[in-house]
Amino acid sequence: MDKTRWIMRVLGMLLLTVGVQTVVLAQEVTPEVTPEATAEPLPAGAILDFPGAGAYSVQVVQGSADRAYGVYIPESYVARDTPAPLVIVLHGASGNGLLMETQTGFDALADEHGFIVSYPDGIEGFWADGRPGDPRVSAQVSDIAYVRGIILFLSTKLSIDPARVYLVGYSMGGMLALRAGCELADRVTAVASVASTMPEYVVPYCQNSAPIGVAFVIGTDDTSIPWVGQPRQGTGYMSANNSLAYWAAHNGCTDNETMTVLDDTDPADGTRVILSTYSACEGGSAVNLYGVYRGGHTWPSRPSPIGFDAGAVSNDIDATQVIWDFFSGQVR
C-alpha cells in the first residue's frame, strides 16, 4: 500500500474543561483497516486524562477537516468491576452528535448499565458510507478511519471491553454503521441500523468479513428508505426482508427465521411491531429485524427533538432499549 497516499495523520485535541481546568491530548491514527495487536484494557473504572465522569467533546483535525465527537462517561462506569462496553451512535444526514444524544437517550441507559457512549459528527452533517456519486460526501476523508480512531483513542483513556464495542446509527448513520461493522469486524462486535435497510453498495466491503451481530429497526411506511428497498444495480438499497436474509446468510445462520408479534402497548399510535430473528449464527452472532408496521423514517418512542415530521413514531418499542438489549447479548 502506498503510504504517501493512504497514511494520514489525525491530530486530536481533547479539550476537557471543568471550571478553569483544561486538559489537551494528542491522538494519531492511520486509515488502514488491518489486524494489529490490541493492548490490554485498563483496570476497570480507570480514567486517564479526563477529569472524571461527565460529558466531553473531543476536537479532531483529520486532514483539512475539523471534526468532533462527544463522549459520555457515567458515574456508574467508575463503580464497575469489569471493563465497560462502548456504544458509538451515528447521526442521520444533516444531523449531528448532539441531536442524537438528545433524541436517543443512550446516556440514561449508560447511567444504568455503566457503559461509555460516543456521539461523532459527520463532515457537514454527512458520512462517507460508500455511496457512489454523492456530492455531499467527501471522498478525501475516511469515516472508517475516523470511527476506528475513536475506538482506539477511547480504549487508551478508559477501560473499554474489546469484546463489547457496538455501533448504532440512524438513516445514513445506520448505513455507515453497517459498513464499519464489516471493515472493522476485528474491533466491532455488533451493529444496529434504525430507518435504514442494507445498502447494496456496502456489500463489497462485507464480502470477506467475519460475522457480527446485526439488528434493524425499519418502518413499513418509511418514504425516505422504503421498506421494499430501492435496488439500483448495486448502488441502491435492499428491501427490509432482503437485508435480514443477507445478514442471516453472511453470518452462517442455521436456524429458521422466528417471527414474534410484539404487544401493542400504545394502540393510539397506529403501529404494530413484528420481530424477526435468526439466533443460531456463527461466532454467537444474531440477526434481528424489528418491522414497524405503518412506522415512518423514525426512531421508535423517540420523536425528533427539533420537530421534524418523518412519519409515524411507534411507541410499542423503545428503539434505544431494544438495541441495548440486543447489544447486551452480543459478546465477541
Instruction: Phi first, then psi: give them for residue 289, nearest 5 degrees.
Output: -130, 115
CA-CA distance, 263 to 324, in Å (whole number)?
19
Per-residue pLDDT tens over the stretch 123-134 = 999 999 999 888
CA-CA distance, 285 to 262, in Å (whole number)?
22
Distance from chain centroid for Cα 300:
16
Per-residue pLDDT tens over the stretch 213-267 = 999 999 999 999 999 999 888 889 999 999 999 999 999 999 999 999 999 999 9
CA-CA distance, 212 to 167, in Å (whole number)?
11
Pairing mode of beta strands 116-120, 65-73: antiparallel
Fold of 41-248+318-328: Rossmann fold (3.40.50)
Mean pLDDT of the chain: 88
Per-residue pLDDT tens over the stretch 64-91 = 788 999 999 999 999 999 999 999 999 9
pLDDT at 21: 25
Query: Are the CB atoms for 195 and 224 separated by under 8 Å?
Result: yes
How many residues are listed for the chain in this entry? 332
Which cell is 313 given?
413514531
Check whether 301 has a pLDDT greater than 90. Answer: yes
pLDDT above 90 coverage of the chain, percent: 77
The DSSP H or E segment spanning 120 is: strand 116-120
CA-CA distance, 70 to 54, in Å (whole number)?
11
Q: Domain segments of the chain: what residues?
A: 41-248+318-328
CA-CA distance, 39 to 80, in Å (whole number)?
20
Q: Which neighbouring-strand residues pair with 260?
A: 275
Query: Are the CB atoms for 210 and 186 separated by under 8 Å?
Result: yes
Q: Please, which pLDDT band fits residue 328 given cuts at 50, 70 and 90?
A: very high
pLDDT at 136: 87
